[in-house]
Structure 1
Amino acid sequence: MQCDRCDSAAVEWIRYSGEHLCRGHFVEFVERRAKRELHAQVDLQGGERIAVGMSGGKDSSATASLLADFLGRRRDIELIGITIDEGIASYRPAGIQRAKALCGRLGIEHRILAYEDTAGHTMDEVVARDPEAIPCSYCGPFRRQALNRAAREVEADYVATGLNLDDTAQSILMNVARGDVEKLARLGPHESRQPGLVPRIQPLRMIPEKEVYLYALLQGIEFHDATCPYADRAQRGRFREMLNRLEEDSPGTRHAIVRGYDQMRPLLQEAYPPATLNACARCGEPTVHAVCKACELRDRIEKFAPDAPEPA
């Protein structure tokens, strides 16, 4: 099949637009949208430091590579790669290795922060102690807090994450299904700053997961291509399957969900303005409650400790 923009062979068919694109035009297609999204989300004046959350997977690796390409000529902006080590022995070490290697190739600093130093336990320990729980219910709050802490420690002005279009549309649907309108209003990217929280930006927000994957392959970006061993127990998987079916039947559904949300977002944020944050009484991290969610989960883990006393 020939590219619709030139005489070269096509490497991808964009179903939602009907276009066939060659390697060069596909790469340009991805980069143009990522750059547009970056500029729409943040106005970089110079002097900023951007922490890039890097798992070593395709999305975060593509994000780091794109930002290095977009901002590499600007000596007044610094990128720092941050990897959160959840402590999943069969999964995380390979990702750390990929993230470290990519940072070396891009010429940016790389730091690692482990759950053992923030949550006090590895995820393998958490699952062993509380096998009936959904692992993501622990991992999500722990990771968000760890990434924010790491970004704050390096004095980052922003945290860039690799959330793609599929991730974003899934998050919107999940919060709608739960009736969690307040959380829906607070989805990233973040436009305001709150004490103790580093705003997040998402350059891949409008790029489908499959296109991110192909972009990484075509650009020679080495990444850890594996799935977390605990992911099959996550609720997100059901929404992923549902969204994939909708997209298959009606190409463009993911874009429509996110664009529709973006139109509603100002109204949601008006109804749910940024909450007043407190310092957690246990760890000092920002929270809307007296004790943050991560500390509540740490307390729950301790109840399952091998040497914990039997309940009265």
Structure 2
Amino acid sequence: MKCRCGRKAVFHSRVYRITLCDECFPKFYVNLVKRSIKRYGILKSSEKILVCVSGGKDSTAMAYALNELDYNIELFHIDLGIGNYSKESLKAVEELAQTLNLNLNVVKLEDYGFTIDDVESKKVCSACGIVKRYIMNRFARERGFDVIATAHTCEDIILFFIKNVLSGNVEYISKLSPRIDGFDKLVAKAKPLFERTEKENATLVLTLNLPFTPMECPHAPNDIWKEIIYEIEAKRRGFKQNFVRGIVKLAKSVKAEEWEVKHCKICGEVSNFEICSFCKIVERYSRKNR
């Protein structure tokens, strides 16, 4: 196959009915991200943006696109202390920062007295999510960032939607908007890649030879729902992106669960309870308390 410019193609999409080469695809990808941001008001040109990078392909693609669009960004990485996976992830984000000539901020979870490897296996994913949300938000607020950007893909959005509908947590759908404005001590959160697929992100980083680690987190579960999502996409091209756009429309109409804003009596961060989930995790797994 050949690109519309006549060169050898590296990307073909039935959804967009387009075939692109290694020079045309990155421009096409960045324009898609730009269109999403403008259409849904995900980011503002005046904002200082903390771009969260894990070392994987998706966050690498996001960092590249936002940098190309000339947003005021800095990279942010949390070293979770997950053996060789975290070492390779940190190496990848350090190389990415050099490649894109961006400032990289790194927080090591071990500075709080524990790592994700210290958490019991059945609670790893839950604890990891709590840890990342807490540290991202606190770092962003204390360093004067206006918004936190995460690389959630359309597959991630659909997966979250399905799991929460099946578990009856319908009110959580409101969190699937591509931008959630902040309040109190919570910084605004943005998902610039919510319409982008994992395949598009992988094609971008491989085409541009951007630094990333192909390693999967050793604690990540095998998710049958993601396999089902891909099976449907194979039979119905465009399913994922059409579905996620529908989810975003629904998210606007779903009333978020009302709760009294409290502050953790230990750290002072926003919490539903007297002691926030993060401080409970620190109390339970910190080596200082053993």
Matched, 1:11 2:4: no
Matched, 1:228 2:217: yes
Q: Aligned partners of 2:95 and 2:230: how far apart in 1?
A: 32
Distance 1:106 1:240, change over 3 A: same
Once the 2 structures are TM-superposed, how far is the Cα of residue 286 of structure 1 from its aligned partner?
A: 1.1
Q: What residue is the counterpart of 1:26 in the other structure?
A: 25
Once the 2 structures are TM-superposed, how far is the Cα of residue 85 of structure 1 from its aligned partner?
A: 0.8
Gaps of 5+ in 2: none
Matched, 1:201 2:174: no
Indicate if the aligned counterparts of 2:150 and 2:190 stay in contact, CA closer than 8 A.
yes
Q: Aligned partners of 1:239 and 1:150: how far apart in 2?
A: 33
Match of 2:133 among 144, 149, 157: 144
Q: What residue is the counterpart of 1:283 in the other structure?
A: 267
Once the 2 structures are TM-superposed, how far is the Cα of residue 187 of structure 1 from its aligned partner?
A: 2.6
Once the 2 structures are TM-superposed, how far is the Cα of residue 209 of structure 1 from its aligned partner?
A: 0.3
Distance 1:142 1:176, change over 3 A: same
Match of 2:241 among 248, 255, 276: 255
**Superposition TM-score, scaled by structure 1 size:** 0.84
Equivalenced residue count is 289
Distance 1:35 1:45, change over 3 A: closer
Match of 2:96 among 91, 94, 102: 102
Indicate if the aligned counterparts of 2:262 and 2:273 stay in contact, CA closer than 8 A.
yes
Indicate if the aligned counterparts of 1:82 and 1:150 stay in contact, CA closer than 8 A.
no
Gaps of 5+ in 1: 72-76
Matched, 1:243 2:232: no
Q: What residue is the counterpart of 2:54 in the other structure?
A: 55
**Superposition TM-score, scaled by structure 2 size:** 0.90
Q: What residue is the counterpart of 2:173 in the other structure?
A: 184
Indicate if the aligned counterparts of 2:49 and 2:148 stay in contact, CA closer than 8 A.
yes
Identity %: 29
Q: Aligned partners of 2:177 and 2:189: how far apart in 1?
A: 6
Tell me the secondary structure at the aligned position of residue 29 of structure 1. helix
Indicate if the aligned counterparts of 1:193 and 1:199 stay in contact, CA closer than 8 A.
yes
Distance 1:29 1:307, change over 3 A: closer
Q: Aligned partners of 2:98 and 2:45: how far apart in 1?
A: 26
Distance 1:307 1:117, change over 3 A: closer
Indicate if the aligned counterparts of 2:176 and 2:248 stay in contact, CA closer than 8 A.
no
Distance 1:248 1:160, change over 3 A: same
